[in-house]
Amino acid sequence: MIEERKKEFISFMIESDVLKFGEFTTKSGRKTPYFINTGNYRTGRQFNVLGKFYAQMVKESGCEYTAIFGPAYKGIPLAACCSNALYSQYNLDKPFFFNRKEVKDHGEGGSLVGYAPKDGDKIVIVEDVITAGTAVREVIPILRSCGEISCKDMFISVDRREIGQNFNKTAVDEVRDEFGINIHSIVDVNDIRKYLDGKAEFENYLEKMDEYMKKYCLV
């Protein structure tokens, strides 16, 4: 059985055209029967709902943090709506910041926008998914260049449970072991597969999901 909150989140992703089924290619080059594109969240209501899911996950994790970091580009609105929901739902007023893909050489300059991290800060990362861990490896040096900060927790929508560079570990496991970051997800691929079971409209994708998970996932 799948937890009600997870069921609600998967339904919300499908309704928002964020979780899609078909034939797609991931950043790692794998052909996948499902895809998560958080760039399709586009309304105030959607971000209100999404922020509550993320904020609840952050709150329930019990982690300590100074600020929230959203990697460019898709992590930017995720960090913003999470910060907003933490305040509206739990009265936790936490700043957020994000990076630019290209360093700005005029105005205030620099590669970061929003909160300015300082020595001693505890930063949490808010992202969409982890498939191969490539994005994490890109942003950790950015955060470490800010000073003596720590980053122990990362929050994502979906853990695809995909094999990483080491075939005995998922990409999430590799990130945890390499950087000492705990990865928290609202749902994972097992939850999505359970959600599809018994629903006639998704019947055509069940076999493809099973084949993909057997080939690329550690479940």
CA distance 160 to 77: 21
Please report how many Cα atoms fall inside a 13 Å half-sphere around the Cα of residue 33, on the Cβ side. Answer: 20
CB 132 within 8 A of CB 161: no
User: What is the spatial distance between Cα 211 and Cα 183, in angstroms, rounded to a whole number?
Assistant: 25
Using alpha carbons only, how large is the chain's radius of gyration in Å?
17
Residue 128 and residue 38 in contact, taking contact as beta carbons nearer than 8 Å: yes
| Positions marked active-site | 104, 106
Pull the structure tokens for residue 62: 């019990």
Sign of CA dihedral 165, 170, 172, 177: negative
The one-letter amino acid code at 19 reads L
Handedness of CA 133, 136, 137, 138 (dihedral sign): positive
Q: How far apart are the C-alpha atoms of 40 and 60, rounded to whole Å? A: 26
Phi, psi of 160 (to 5 degrees): -75, -10
Helices (H) then strands (E): counts for the chain? 7, 9
